[in-house]
Amino acid sequence: MADIGVGLVGYKFMGRAHSNAYRQVGRFFDVDPAPRMVAICGRNEAAVREAAEQLGWEGYETDYNALIARDDIGLVDVSTPGDTHREVVLAALAAGKHVLCEKPLANSLAEAREMMDAARQAGVVAMVNFNYRRVPAVQVAQKLVADGRIGEVRHWRAVYLQDWINDPSFPLVWRLRKEVAGSGALGDIAAHVVDLAHFVVGPIAEVVGTMDTFIKQRPLETESGGGAGLSAAAGQEMGEVTVDDATTFLARFDSGVTGTFEATRLAPGRRNYNSFEVNGSNGSIVFNQERMNELQVYFADDPDGLQGFRTINVTDASHPYAANWWPAGHILGYEHAFVHAVKDLMDGIKAGQTPAPNFEDGFRCQAVLAAVEQSAANHAWVEVERP
């Protein structure tokens, strides 16, 4: 079995999730090439050295240019905040490296287009990690829609609700600063349900939406606060929140489907409530990430007296990815979607073809986010820009 050297830029929340995926994929899937965890990269030498030892990397770098220049690295994984995606990805593509980039692709539509064009010219595998596509239940939902099982699709509705910044004393981490994150709930979590909508239903044509910031000031993060994005320590000095806490928008799809989207990080009790419902002329599908091993379906052609939503357990060996894990009923978790993404990425590198979502898919998502921002500013419907 051949291998490919991986260089990971970023070592905190997403860096840990990606590191686990590289460690696990060859143990459960037949991948060729197999990822070799060559080096992890971060600016804080003491912290990245510790991360390399803890997460299973052979070594580390403190400069992404040095990482990219290494002959023993063929795949560059970008798991940093959005303000660095463009520079690292463009450098990796220019060096002829394959790329996996965390979502959203960029902090602006102009950056996303530049990255998409560079990927096309580079002729390498360039994939965006929208990990929820790789949840078995989502794969089943997409197939039911594509096979026409629920008939003509008419409605899509999605919510992504979290509560991790509901406390006003939670500090001003990077995800709450526009110059680093690009946007708030819109880019952080609404991006996921936009990509799921594209995957299950198809392209979005136009949107009209709102964006709101309810907690406008927060204490600054202390230098020793961790800074992982979802946990941190607060100091005494206050700073301005420059991103949205919540967004809500309507959408019209190319196909004529109507859609609704809501995303907030201020929904008490909702830890990671990523859910969508699709309604068609012959049935409905409901997915809830907090019950990710299940899919609810309703088929209008069921016999009278036996109609109603049923719950499908998606851990049977016949379901996507499931056969490589545990016996039916032995559930999968959040981390498995990352393993599935790396498995498909390795298959793509072998075939010389980028698995979806590619950078064009990443641009399509970024275009929706940009249209929502424009709509919220202008209080009007906005057409979504095309790749």
Give the CATH number of the domain where residue 158 resides: 3.30.360.10
Q: How far is CA 50 from CA 58, 218, 229, 257, in A?
A: 12, 30, 19, 49
Question: Which of 132, 151, 183 is the C-terminal boundary of a domain?
Answer: 132
pLDDT tens per residue, range 18-41 = 999 999 999 999 999 999 999 999
Question: Which of 132, 167, 193 is the C-terminal boundary of a domain?
Answer: 132
Pair 118, 250 in one domain = no
Specify if 24 maps to a domain.
yes
Give me the pLDDT at residue 1, please. 64
pLDDT tens per residue, range 252-263 = 999 999 999 999
| Total structural domains within the chain | 2
Give me the pLDDT at residue 236, please. 79
Residue 30: both structure tokens together: 């037949």
Pair 89, 171 in one domain = no
Pair 298, 314 in one domain = yes
Pair 110, 167 in one domain = no
Q: What is the CATH number of the domain that holds 74?
A: 3.40.50.720
Specify if 196 maps to a domain.
yes
Pair 196, 157 in one domain = yes
Calculate the CA 250 to chain-centre distance. Answer: 21
Pair 140, 80 in one domain = no
Interval 230-249 mean pLDDT: 89
Q: Is the pLDDT of residue 235 over 80?
A: no
Specify if 383 maps to a domain.
no
Pair 145, 199 in one domain = yes
For residue 113, the enclosing domain spans 3-132
Residue 56 contacts residue 37 (beta carbons within 8 Å): yes
Give me the pLDDT at residue 334, please. 97
Specify if 387 maps to a domain.
no
Q: Is the pLDDT of residue 243 over 90?
A: yes
Residues 6+ apart with CB under 8 A from 73: 5, 6, 7, 38, 39, 67, 97
Pair 86, 201 in one domain = no
Q: Beta-carbon neighbour count of residue 63 at 10 Å?
A: 11
Question: Which of 98, 132, 166 is the C-terminal boundary of a domain?
Answer: 132
Specify if 298 maps to a domain.
yes
Specify if 153 maps to a domain.
yes
pLDDT tens per residue, range 261-277 = 999 999 999 999 999 99
Calculate the CA 347 to chain-centre distance. Answer: 20
Pair 140, 121 in one domain = no
Specify if 385 maps to a domain.
no
Q: Beta-carbon neighbour count of residue 335 at 10 Å?
A: 13
Residues 6+ apart with CB under 8 A from 71: none
pLDDT tens per residue, range 77-103 = 999 999 999 999 999 999 999 999 999
The torsion angles phi and psi of 196, rounded to 5 degrees, stand at -65, -40
Nearest-angstrom CA–CA distance, 64 and 68:
6
Q: Which pLDDT band, with edges at 50, 70 and 90, does 224 fall under?
A: low
**Beta bridge partner(s), residue 264:** 161, 246
Pair 157, 141 in one domain = yes
Pair 192, 270 in one domain = yes
Q: Is the pLDDT of residue 228 over 70?
A: no
Pair 67, 215 in one domain = no
Residue appearing with tokens 């009923």: 329
Specify if 370 maps to a domain.
yes
Give me the pLDDT at residue 267, please. 98
